[in-house]
Copies of this chain bind each other. A is one copy, B any other.
């Protein structure tokens, strides 16, 4: 089995710690270790670095090669530009020349509390991907009615090991639908990990998105056209391009310990707390303050009488935002882009 790690994230959710050149996957958010490094280390007992491929952007390729010296340089693929996950996966599979090989696609920036059980379920999924020529996913028991994830509706058992057919894949439902899915107990979150035979997934992708298929064909036949051809690929996620449309997906459940660390709030949740409920990193002085995430990447963070805030201080910036609004850091990043503040992006 080969691994294809998607590491093109632009890193807006952990701003100001994450920047264009230092996105989330390169931050030491896994107890000081970068999420990308943890992802590779987590796979190693099952998939060795010589079978690991990384898809990223030109901006990050050098930093990623430096972070992962054990992965052959040529296996760090640099997209000419970001076109979302369907083109990224399609192009990577072509570049990997993966044929009928089993491939696990994984995000570079997720956390797993229990790496051993993660590897066990990944192996299980690989078995069904091979046996049934099926596109398999890793499903996570939902913990709240998240509207930013995909949901897997569970069908018949594939075996006696918990693997199930997926009767419906629903990307990013509205709040009411998500609530109903979670309350109903018959849905899992899509954990963003897919296992399949490369030729199978490529076949589905070309069938559902002929424009991507034509573009990939052009790139294969004329590698010097890469930049031009890639820029014309439709920008669409693999979830919308393939998963929502494909019949016969399967899933293997993974209970507990998964986090996509999608926000400062998600980081706050997994960090240890002190007696006042504060999650603290770096040089922090907190007086009469509760349930905050206080993150001093550089310098000192001092707070008095505040509750439920995220305060992040970097070398050049500080962010203050209520924990429950931490997704809205995107509004700051959008403002910076509009103002062409490249010095802070």
- The residue on B at minimum CB distance from A292 is B320
- The residue on B at minimum CB distance from A317 is B300
Contact code string A313-327 (vs B, CB < 8 Å = 1, else 0): 101111111100100
Q: Does A227 contact B (CB under 8 A)?
A: no
Q: Report B-chain residues with C-beta under 8 Å of the C-beta of A331.
A: 287-288, 304
In contact, B287 and A306 (Cβ under 8 angstroms)? no
In contact, B303 and A319 (Cβ under 8 angstroms)? yes
Q: How far is the CB of A310 from chain B (nearest CB, A)?
A: 9
Q: Report B-chain residues with C-beta under 8 Å of the C-beta of A300.
A: 16, 316-318, 344
- The residue on B at minimum CB distance from A16 is B302
Q: Report B-chain residues with C-beta under 8 Å of the C-beta of A318.
A: 299-302, 311, 313, 318
In contact, B319 and A305 (Cβ under 8 angstroms)? no
CA distance A340 to B96 in the complex (A): 57
CA distance A322 to B277 in the complex (A): 19
Q: How far is the CB of A283 from chain B (nearest CB, A)?
A: 9
Q: Report B-chain residues with C-beta under 8 Å of the C-beta of A285.
A: 332, 335-336
Q: Report B-chain residues with C-beta under 8 Å of the C-beta of A302.
A: 16, 317-320, 332
In contact, A305 and B317 (Cβ under 8 angstroms)? no
CA distance A189 to B317 in the complex (A): 40
- The residue on B at minimum CB distance from A289 is B320
Q: How far is the CB of A335 from chain B (nearest CB, A)?
A: 6
A residues 184-223 touching B (CB-CB < 8 Å): none
Q: Does A328 contact B (CB under 8 A)?
A: yes
Contact of A304 among B304, B306, B325, B344 (CB under 8 A): B325
CA distance A317 to B314 in the complex (A): 10
In contact, B316 and A299 (Cβ under 8 angstroms)? yes
In contact, A329 and B301 (Cβ under 8 angstroms)? no
Q: Report B-chain residues with C-beta under 8 Å of the C-beta of A26.
A: none
Given A303-B320, A320-B302, are A328 and B16 also a contact pair (CB < 8 Å)? Answer: no
- The residue on B at minimum CB distance from A335 is B285
CA distance A303 to B301 in the complex (A): 15
Q: How far is the CB of A323 from chain B (nearest CB, A)?
A: 10
Q: Report B-chain residues with C-beta under 8 Å of the C-beta of A325.
A: 304-305
Specify which of A288, A309, A317, A320 lies most central, judged by the most chain B CB atoms within 10 Å of its CB.
Answer: A320
Q: How far is the CB of A276 from chain B (nearest CB, A)?
A: 14
In contact, A322 and B299 (Cβ under 8 angstroms)? no
Q: Report B-chain residues with C-beta under 8 Å of the C-beta of A316.
A: 299-300
In contact, A322 and B305 (Cβ under 8 angstroms)? yes
CA distance A328 to B329 in the complex (A): 28
Q: How far is the CB of A285 from chain B (nearest CB, A)?
A: 6
Chain A residues proximal to chain B, CB less than 8 Å: 16, 285, 287-288, 299-306, 309, 311, 313, 315-322, 325, 328-329, 331-332, 335-336, 344
The 10 closest A-B pairs by CB, nearest first: A300-B317, A304-B321, A299-B316, A318-B318, A287-B331, A305-B325, A303-B320, A313-B318, A302-B332, A302-B319
Given contact pairs A302-B320, A313-B313, a sample of 13 additional A-B residue pairs in the complex whose CB atoms are under 8 Å apart? A285-B335, A285-B336, A287-B331, A299-B315, A299-B318, A302-B317, A303-B319, A304-B320, A304-B322, A304-B325, A305-B325, A309-B320, A320-B320
